[in-house]
A and B are shown apart, each in its own frame.
Chain A
Amino acid sequence: MAAKSIISRPVYGTLSAQPGKHHLFVADAEGALAISDLAAKVPAGFFADAHIIFIPGNDGKHVAALEALNPAQFYQGPSFASALPRLKQTLANAHMGLRLYLAGTEGLIGQAMQAALEAGIDHTAIQTEHRGSLARRVQCVHCKGITESVTTQPATCSHCGLLLLVRDHYSRRLAAFQGVCINAEDRSEIPPTEEIFR
């Protein structure tokens, strides 16, 4: 669990089945376990109206467990970017009664939510559950570039190279935490780097 933080920092819950006609799941890596946990509590036939978009990641685990739920549609993709066109089309064609469930890393939840917000779905209507890595997507406030999978504090911007303080301040619109130059006042001050978002 993330430590107590500031109000713009997202708060995640536990996936629970919502009344609805269609159920869209987007998950990566250990997010599959959140779907399995939910599956243990739902009535038979729940997944007959479900679509699962899953990005297993490097170790390729959990695919069989999700397929065994027999969802109406199952998609396995190599990256979030590759899954995004499919997600966008599904959201654009969605009718009333679609329920959205996001599970996995913060980067996955944030980017899938960003696509949902753009499709007009209110963020409070989306079920989320954080599983796995605490690595962050960080927007450099200076050059606006986004650095993926940040695990350290401070972190180097992969675009402009400034050393960034990774704040808890979070933008749903950008699906990113804010990074601000940590030694702007005196560039010779180099604070130690710690791995804290694992």
Chain B
Amino acid sequence: MGITFRKETFRDDFTFRNSPEHIRRFPFPFHEDSYMYAVNIEPHVLGPKGSVLENLIDVDEHYVAEMQDRALVLAEDPLRCQSLSHMTLAGWDLLELLMEQQALGYPEHFTLTRDGDRWRWINRPLGIDDTFTFGDVSTLPYGPMEYITRQSQGDFCILDQRDGNLWMDAGMVTTQADWSLDFDIGMNFFEWHAPVPLAHEKGIFVRALKFLTNIQQGKPARRLNWTMTINPRLDTSPENYHKWGPDRATVTPENVGEKVHLRVELQSFWRLPRSNGIVFPIRCYLIKMDELVTQPKWARRLHRVIRDLPDELANYKGLTRYRATLVEWLSKLDDGSPTSPGFGPD
């Protein structure tokens, strides 16, 4: 049985919703009642059936609508997709990875057939059936990274590894939580993370870099990150901050449940075989408060996390303007009873 893809929008009338099954599989990012940065990296291995980890590259009911939103962003601002000239081989690596994983996990929707360098890729949800020569950019309508990431959920950063560091040298970034690929492209791991508060002092990035530069082929890793977004807007880029920023001033006690969304990034890290680069997919999951609190454990825990978040972090994540309203709304769903350990709902 295939996925039923929703017709929905991430802008203007914001018709994005999660089905009941998708609410239960939401990757809730808090395993305890508080939050602080940690190097929370673990092996990216398959998880339970029905979870977002059922496949290593997750395709869900929002796939088609997300790809339509990406096309709109790129038409408006082509600088969201960039690749420095030495990164084309890594782009082919990524194309192979995503075609293989999507075809493996969702054979009813994607088919890849290979005859030497002649490849045929069928993407049924998007109505694509292309035959091309692997390694020959003239046989695709876009560069290999852009071609496949216009057909894959999540942002993608391709990192070049040299001089013991990782360099952000290519990416497709249209659903980002407030960072600019156009500004950060070409930076090393420490430079592009420079604006993140508190984590440098804790040595987070030194340890994370050490881990990432040692990632081996066939042994991907993952971590979760989170923020909050007003309205189910995928394109919360700094480029458009002056357009979506005013949303943050629209939160009232009456509309918290509908407007405020928890935004979770499932970040994974994969060694690429030919280029020795690392690809870093940042898969974004959105859930509105009304949907999230259908799971009482999540409601209680989120209340405690947001209430107790250090101000500096709340500010960095852009919560300050509506945090009090959100905490007050969530407090009514927290009877003070304990929460069970682990991420999942009870």
Query: When the two chains form the complex, which single residue of B184, B185, B187, B321 contacts A185, counting CB atoms closer than 8 Å?
Result: B321
Q: Are B191 and A7 in contact (CB under 8 A)?
A: yes
Whether, in the assembled complex, A8 has its beta carbon less than 8 Å from a beta carbon of chain B, the answer is yes
**Of the 9-residue stretches A57-65, A103-111, A172-180, which lies at the interface with chain B?**
A172-180
Q: Are A142 and B184 in contact (CB under 8 A)?
A: no
CA A139 – CA B241 in complex, angstroms?
15
Q: Are B183 and A141 in contact (CB under 8 A)?
A: yes
Whether, in the assembled complex, A88 has its beta carbon less than 8 Å from a beta carbon of chain B, the answer is no
Render A150-167 as a binary contact track against B, CB cut-off 8 A, 1 for contact.
000000000000100001
Given contacts A7-B190, A7-B200, A173-B185, contact A185 B180 (CB under 8 A): no
Cβ–Cβ < 8 Å partners of A178 in chain B:
180, 183
Q: Are B241 and A9 in contact (CB under 8 A)?
A: no
CA A19 – CA B246 in complex, angstroms?
56
Cβ–Cβ < 8 Å partners of A167 in chain B:
195
Whether, in the assembled complex, A184 has its beta carbon less than 8 Å from a beta carbon of chain B, the answer is yes
Render B232-250 as a binary contact track against A, CB cut-off 8 A, 1 for contact.
0000001111100110110
Render B170-202 as a binary contact track against A, CB cut-off 8 A, 1 for contact.
000000000010111111001111110000100
Render B308-331 as a binary contact track against A, CB cut-off 8 A, 1 for contact.
000000000000010000000000
29 A-B contacts (beta carbon < 8 Å): A6-B195, A6-B200, A7-B190, A7-B191, A7-B200, A8-B187, A8-B191, A141-B238, A141-B241, A142-B238, A142-B239, A142-B241, A142-B242, A162-B242, A168-B194, A169-B194, A169-B195, A171-B183, A171-B184, A171-B187, A172-B186, A172-B187, A173-B187, A178-B180, A181-B242, A184-B241, A184-B245, A185-B321, A187-B246
Binding site for B on A (CB under 8 A): 6-9, 139, 141-142, 144, 162, 167-169, 171-174, 178, 180-181, 184-187
Q: Nearest B residue to A178 by beta-carbon distance? A: B183
Q: Nearest B residue to A7 by beta-carbon distance? A: B194
Q: Nearest B residue to A163 by beta-carbon distance? A: B242
Whether, in the assembled complex, B212 has its beta carbon less than 8 Å from a beta carbon of chain A, the answer is no
Query: When the two chains form the complex, which single residue of A144, A162, A174, A185 contacts B248, counting CB atoms closer than 8 Å?
Result: A185
Whether, in the assembled complex, B67 has its beta carbon less than 8 Å from a beta carbon of chain A, the answer is no
Please give 19 more A-B residue pairs, beta carbons under 8 A apart, in addition to A7-B200, A8-B191: A7-B190, A8-B190, A139-B183, A141-B241, A142-B239, A142-B242, A144-B182, A169-B194, A169-B195, A172-B186, A172-B187, A174-B183, A178-B180, A178-B183, A180-B238, A180-B241, A181-B245, A185-B249, A185-B321
Which are the 7 A-B pairs with shortest beta-carbon distances? A184-B245, A8-B194, A6-B194, A8-B191, A7-B194, A173-B186, A185-B245
Q: Nearest B residue to A174 by beta-carbon distance? A: B183
How close is B116's CB to chain A, nearest CB, in angstroms?
36
Q: Nearest A residue to B77 by beta-carbon distance? A: A144
CA A109 – CA B195 in complex, angstroms?
22
Whether, in the assembled complex, B97 has its beta carbon less than 8 Å from a beta carbon of chain A, the answer is no
Q: Nearest A residue to B244 by beta-carbon distance? A: A184
How close is B272's CB to chain A, nearest CB, in angstroms?
23
Q: Are B249 and A186 in contact (CB under 8 A)?
A: yes
Q: Are A9 and B194 in contact (CB under 8 A)?
A: yes
CA A168 – CA B184 in complex, angstroms?
13
Most buried by B among A7, A139, A172, A173: A7
CA A173 – CA B183 in complex, angstroms?
8
CA A157 – CA B238 in complex, angstroms?
15
Whether, in the assembled complex, B79 has its beta carbon less than 8 Å from a beta carbon of chain A, the answer is yes
How close is A130's CB to chain B, nearest CB, in angstroms?
18
Q: Nearest A residue to B320 by beta-carbon distance? A: A185
Cβ–Cβ < 8 Å partners of B239 in chain A:
141-142
Q: Are B194 and A171 in contact (CB under 8 A)?
A: no
Cβ–Cβ < 8 Å partners of B248 in chain A:
185
Q: Nearest A residue to B186 by beta-carbon distance? A: A173
Q: Nearest A residue to B230 by beta-carbon distance? A: A185
CA A139 – CA B245 in complex, angstroms?
19
CA A139 – CA B191 in complex, angstroms?
17
Cβ–Cβ < 8 Å partners of B195 in chain A:
6, 8, 167, 169
